[in-house]
Structures are given as structure tokens and as C-alpha cells.
Structure 1
Amino acid sequence: MPTGVAMRDAREQLFDAAERVLLRDGPNALTSRAVTTEAGCAKGVLHRHFTDFDAFLADLVLDRIARLEVQAVALRASAGTGTVIGNLTGVLSDLFESVAVAIVGLIISRDALRARLREARPVGVPLATEAAEMIASYLAAERDAGRIAADADVDTLAPTLVGAGHLLFADRTGTSPDVEAVHKIVATVVGGVVREPPP
């Protein structure tokens, strides 16, 4: 591997390389050597920025959670616009067509990573938990706007949507489900509480 070559934003380049390896080859192929080879840098670059590989993976997950927070703000701001089912279909498709499914699989497959993440995120499965919180916040805003029933249990509906969406997208080797499949799940889960007129 090349040495002495400056990497702009080495952390982000290493994170992006890890995502590519994860998506292409799965969690078992994700090693420090695979990441640095994919990034086109010496293995020492990773160890200059992170104490060990599990610290690198934990920071990767936390970085992707931070990105989800930006998406959560946009989703909540969309309350009252479009349709509830359409908005949820879009966010679930965006969430799970990204690297999120692969990262959840990575978290589940690595005990040391889960233990490290428990320090920052003591409850739930990181990323999936934040996705459910994002959707619950959006549903609460729609409930406040009167577009879903006042007695809708958003704290149950949100993880139900995330779990169903995750299962729909979980086959990493298959083709992604089409928008109609996602729409069907969303409509099934929240259709009974939606109070907006049909489009």
C-alpha cells in the first residue's frame, strides 16, 4: 500500500471504504486490512486515527447515527406535507437502501463492537433504535397536526415500521424491494391511524 501519501479527511475516507466492503462482501469480510486496501492507504493510517479496529467500527456506527439525526430533522419538518404514508415510505426506502441494513448486521455479528457501543448507546440496537426514534418523532408531529389519530401509539408504530422495513431489505444479495412493497408495509402498519384524506 502507498505510504507517505496525504489523505484528506482520512476518517471519512476510511468510513466510506468500510461501507463499500460491508455492502459488497458482508460483515465477515470487514477487517482493517480490507478497509485500508479499499481506501488505498497503508494499514497504519487506520491505527493513527483509532486505537483499534473495534474503536474504528464504533466510530463508524456513531458517525452514521449522527447522519441519521440530520435526516430526522428533515422528516419531522415534513409533517403536514405530502401524505403520512408517502413520507414514511420515502424515509424507510432511504434508510434501508443505504448502508443501514449492513451496519445493523455488523453490530449483531460482532460482540466486541456491541460492547463498545453500549458505552454510548446502552439501550436497543444502535442505528435501528435511532431510526425508530426518528419515526416516532415524526408520527408524534403528525398526531399533533391531526393527520393521525390522537390515540395512536407512536412508540409502538415506529419500531414496528423499522422492524418490518429491515426484514424487507435484509437480503443483502437480492434486489432491493420496489417502492410498492415498502408502501404496502407502511399502509398496513399505520393505515388504521391515518386521518388525512386519501390522495
Structure 2
Amino acid sequence: MNTRERLVEAAEQVIREFGITGATTRRIARQAGCSEALLYKHFPGKESLFMAVVLERMPAMRPALARLRLRQGEGDVSANFTEFALAALEFYTGVATIASGMMADPSLMAGFKAMLAGLGSGPHMPILAVAEILRAERELGRLDPGLDPDAAASLLLGACFHRANLSYFVDLPDADEDWAAAIVGTLFRR
């Protein structure tokens, strides 16, 4: 494992143990067995290191979007989007601790927001991608012609985000698979 990978793994461990506010560069470097200076040779700041944890160590949204794109025009639309909704739910559940910790730290959040803007990235990107896929499915005649792809994408991912957050506070009564199928069935009714 190279130094960068060790740092990302150490950051994930420190975040899990101490939370985002306790995830200091000193603790992360110590956990990785290196100096803080070496940490900054690989990452310009905590924001980029935390982004690496989200992108590399958490359940990934990108592969789920890629699978959804590949299945565009093929298979059962509801099954495809139900599978995607489950992956989105897993992603949002996994990143909740990092996201909530960043939102609680105004300077860290400002740096993270600036970094995302510079990369042309952010939490809105999956919504745009899902809307594009929905638009294509609608044009292929596989969804209701009156479906608003932008609204449907926002509703689908918003529901996944909401359920992920609820799961930290209450035991949810229905299985994730049943919930995802019900959400997709309601959104994409023909």
C-alpha cells in the first residue's frame, strides 16, 4: 500500500473513531505512520483528503450510475432504478458521518464547497445524471411521456438521502429493498 492509500485509510479510521471534528491532520498522520508534512505533500488540505475518503473508501455512486447508463433502454426500467436506489441509499448512509461533520464546521465546509466548485463536482451531479438517464428512457417510450426527469431525479435521490438520514435515528419498519421498489414504483408509474 502506498503512502497516499495509507493516508486515506488512516483518515477513514480516524473519522470513524473521533468524528470529523476530531480528525486532525496530526491524528491522521500518526495513524498512517507518517508526518503531517508528508500528508500535505499528497493532499493540499483536509477537504481533499476527506473527499478522497468519500470517493475511494465509501460505497460508490459512480459505478451505480455507470450500471444504470449501461442498462438504458434494456431490461426492466423499475428493476434498474430500484437497484440504483439501493446503491444510492448505501452511498448516502456511508457518507452521512463525514457530510454532517463537515456541515458542522463552517471553515471546513467553505473549503470543501470551494474545492467542489473548482472540480465542477458536488452532490447535485448524481441528480443531473439520473435526470439525463430518465430523459433518455422517456424518449425511448419506456416511461410516461409526462414524466419530468429533473423532478423525478430529485425526488428519487432526495428520498434515498432522507431514508439514509432517518436510519441513524430510528429503526425503519420496512426492508430497504421493499422501500426502494415502492419509491421507484410510485415515481415511474405508467
Q: What TM-score results when the alignment is normalised by the length of structure 2? A: 0.73
Identify the structure with the greater helix proportion. 2
> What does residue 11 of structure 1 align with?
4
Specify every segment of 5 or more residues in structure 1 that has no aligned partner in the other structure, as ranges: 1-7
Q: Tell me how far 1:156 sits from its aligned partner.
A: 1.0
2:19 & 2:160 partners in 1: Cα distance? 19
Indicate whether 1:86 and 2:79 are aligned.
yes
Q: Is the 8 A contact 1:22 1:29 kept in 2?
A: yes
Of residues 154, 177, 191, the one that matches 2:188 is 191
> What does residue 100 of structure 2 align with?
105
Give CA deviations for 1:99-127 in whole Å, capped at 9, x if unaligned.
Answer: 333443244233223322333444xxx64
Amino acid at match of 1:156: A
> What does residue 34 of structure 2 align with?
42
Matched residue pairs, number? Answer: 181
Q: Tell me how far 1:63 sits from its aligned partner.
A: 6.5
Q: Tell me how far 1:133 sits from its aligned partner.
A: 1.8
Q: What TM-score results when the alignment is normalised by the length of structure 1? A: 0.70
Specify every segment of 5 or more residues in structure 2 that has no aligned partner in the other structure, as ranges: none
Q: Is the 8 A contact 1:57 1:113 kept in 2?
A: no
Q: Tell me how far 1:34 sits from its aligned partner.
A: 4.2
Deviates further, 178-187 or 101-110:
101-110
Deviates further, 51-60 or 87-96:
51-60
Alignment of 1:31-180 (within 5 A): 31-38=24-31, 40-44=32-36, 45-58=38-51, 60=53, 68-98=61-91, 99-122=94-117, 127-170=122-165, 171-172=167-168, 177-180=175-178
Q: 1:131 to 1:13 in 2, by over 3 A?
A: farther
